[in-house]
A and B are shown apart, each in its own frame.
Chain A
Amino acid sequence: MRAKVTVLIVMLVGLHGVLLLAGFFAPYDPAAQNRELSYAPPTRLHFKDALEFHLRPFVYASAVVMEGDQRGSYQEGRSREYQVRLFVTGASYKLLGVHESTTHLFGVSEPARIFLFGTDAYGRDEFSRVLFGGQISVAAGIVATVITLFAGSVVGIIAGYYGGWVDELLMGVNELFLSLPWLYFLLGVRAFLPLHLSTLRTFFLLTGVIGLIGWARPARLVRGVVLSSRNRSYVLAGRGFGATDFYLSRRHILPEVFGLLLTQAALLVPRYIAAEVTLSFFGLGVNEPVASWGNMLSTLQQYSVLVSYGWLLAPACALVVTSVLYSSLAELFHSRLKSS
């Protein structure tokens, strides 16, 4: 059990590390366009050429073969091999937003390209975009979760601690929020906010809305825990000794709530990442040219793209991996919470 949790946490830390250092792991600038290489399929890594087997993988340069006036399919030019090298110099990027660097983990020399997940309509490298888009999507999920849990625990603690009419009022509003399908509600709130904004403002608006709509369920759970812990003998004793409300909630009640919040966090992060992805997919979230998993997927709304260019599902796969990791962690936390 403990080992499982450790493994999951290590994997999650690894995932976030890769996303955080996207500039280093991505071979190209996510916004760099190659119009002549649109919808290029994933570049194949070769180990064997006509003569022998190489330990170091290599790629061939691909180009579109013209069939009359029509664009045909991509074909590899087998005349020259380009070896995949580590720590190559490429486009400059800022690591963590401060450190300027041009070193990338891997790459090939021009004119060959290495597109691990292919390219999109503008010939942008899908792999680099998945990494950079993941920064936005995952950050949105985490920030929204923090907002939700903060709002939820403040309301829950107030309702549970004071009880009486305060409790009844807050839980009434709570039920109101619970009785709305969240996505309809989200769309509704989004409808009343400006549509076109700078990326940064959109991001915070989006996370704020997603986070604030979800406060109801954690608030209800926190309230339950606070209600049961309020009458514990040590809390009553503390009050007898003249402890203030603030001290009691910080010292005795919050620690009890903490396990619950941790489980909720692991549960909410993937859900909120999905919410951001869904909104951006609908064109209501983060806009081009900034990549997010949602707006990358939104090109798939055209059936022709969906059928012909299957590699554009890469952000969906990344989303699934992230969600499954977080959800398994939430499940482990949950069973531990129940058994304790």
Chain B
Amino acid sequence: MNYILRRLLRAMLLLVGVSALCFLFTEMAPGSFFDEMRLNPQISPETIAALRSSYGLDQPLAVRYARWVNAALRADLGYSIAYNAPVAPLLWSRAKNTLLLTTCALAITWLISVPLGVWAASRRGGLVDRAVTLASSFVISVPELVIAVGLLALVVRWRILPVGGMMSADSDALSMLAKLKDVARHLALPAFILILCETSIIVRHVRASVLEVLGATYVQAARGLGMSQSRLLFRHVLPVAANPAISLLGFSLAGLLSGSLIVEVVCGWPGLGPLILEATLSRDLYLVIGGIMFSALFMIGGNFVADMMLIVVDPRIRKEGVDAR
């Protein structure tokens, strides 16, 4: 219980830190959304000043931050200047799509990499092991942008899958099931790119942690007592190897979210990524801050879930509440 509380507290602290960092950056920034307006002779400086104060931008940093935190606690993340709409609903409608993409990709990634990693580790030096190691180290070293653009080029050229957006233009007319299928077909390419990138990383870590456990003395003892390979692997090795692998789940989220930003922009998936990119290009202050907060929230939330899973999997943490990482 103590452990859960400590983790929660840390997650809260991190969120506060991230938001403070964002505001610090806005303060150091030399430009603002109104710079373009200022160049326009038809808009008087008074109008700009009035606009600034209506968005609360004329207040000192501490006041702005306090106001923002106060509002954020009530799920109000400020007002987007470019969209002329509140930030939170805007972000949430996009965040759902990012969540759909990343959770699908994450689930399939783990479904592939755990068996593959265990298989490679159990036949160390064999054909499978060498193939997995080589392929993963190649995919890791190719930047995500290149993988995304390359696969997109193939898909567009061969017309295998629909590209761009989340559903077809005529999807309103379709039945529920057909709609679902339509979304799945649009999801396939961005999800596949993410799965490819993530699997190559995670399979290596699973393999390494299984290998480490396989070298332990109790495994040798069990082997000496004549335990079958499959029982040994799944009953005795995998639970122990799960701890570092699950800790990795939390860390891998950062890469997953960054990767999904690239993939969303390249494939035209209407997630957080394109929205943040537009907001960055138009210097839409609160939208950018809100977007970063959302991404941080996903990550910290994901880390928290990983911590909870550790409790289930690792009795050392359950019993003593120690940080067994």
A179-192: CB near B (< 8 Å → 1, else 0) gives 11111110111111
A190-B280, A193-B31, A313-B150 are known contacts. Are A323 and B303 too (CB-CB below 8 A)? no
Are B137 and A327 neighbours in the complex by a CB distance under 8 Å? yes
Scoring B residues 121 to 159 as 1 if CB is less than 8 Å from chain A, else 0, what string do you get?
Answer: 000000000000000011011111110011011001100
Task: Tell me whether B288 and A181 are in contact (CB under 8 A).
Answer: no
What residues of chain A lie closer than 8 Å to B30, measured between beta carbons? 193-194
* Interface residues as binary, A183-226 with B (CB distance below 8 Å gives 1, 0 otherwise): 11101111111110000000000000000000000000000000
A274 partner residues in chain B, CB cutoff 8 A: 143-146
* A interface, size bucket: 35 or more
A331 adjacent to B137 (CB under 8 Å):
yes
**Choice from B18, B164, B277, B289 contacting A180 with Cβ under 8 Å:** B18
Of chain B, the residue at the smallest CB distance from A297 is B149
Find residues 273-304 in chain A having any chain B CB closer than 8 Å to their own CB: 273-274, 277-278, 281-284, 297, 300-301, 303
B281 interface residue, CB < 8 Å from A? Answer: yes
Contact A281 B145 (CB under 8 A): yes
Which residues of chain B are near A184, meaning CB under 8 Å? 257-258, 261, 276, 291-292, 295-296
A187 CA to B277 CA, complexed, in Å? 7
Cβ B281 vs Cβ A284 within 8 A: yes
**CB atoms of A193 and B140 under 8 A apart:** no
Q: How far is the CB of B159 from chain A (nearest CB, A)?
A: 10
Q: For residue B146, which residues in chain A have a CB less than 8 angstroms away from its CB?
A: 274, 316, 319-320
Cross-chain contact A192 with B31 (CB below 8 angstroms): yes
Residue numbers in B under 8 Å from A173 (CB-CB)? 17
List of A residues within 8 angstroms of B280 by Cβ: 187-188, 190-191, 284
A194: chain B residues within 8 A (beta carbon): 30-31
A289-340 interface (Cβ within 8 A of B): 297, 300-301, 303, 306-307, 310, 313, 316, 319-320, 323-324, 326-328, 331
Assess the A183–B262 pair: CB atoms within 8 A: yes
B166 cross-chain contacts in A, Cβ below 8 A = none
Q: Which of B19-27, B70-78, B112-120 contacts A (4 or more CB under 8 A)?
A: B19-27
CB distance from B294 to the nearest CB of A (A): 9
Q: Could you write out 30 A-B pairs with CB less than 8 Å apart?
A: A172-B17, A176-B17, A176-B18, A179-B14, A179-B303, A180-B18, A181-B253, A181-B255, A181-B296, A182-B258, A184-B276, A184-B292, A184-B296, A187-B261, A188-B25, A188-B276, A188-B289, A189-B25, A191-B285, A192-B29, A193-B30, A194-B30, A281-B145, A300-B153, A303-B164, A316-B145, A319-B146, A320-B143, A324-B142, A327-B137
Those 6 A-B pairs whose CB atoms lie nearest each other, nearest first: A192-B29, A327-B141, A274-B143, A183-B258, A181-B257, A191-B280
Interface contacts beyond A297-B145, A300-B153: sample of 16 additional A-B pairs, CB < 8 Å, sorted by A: A181-B254, A184-B261, A184-B291, A187-B277, A187-B280, A188-B292, A192-B26, A194-B31, A274-B145, A282-B277, A297-B149, A313-B153, A319-B146, A324-B142, A327-B141, A331-B137
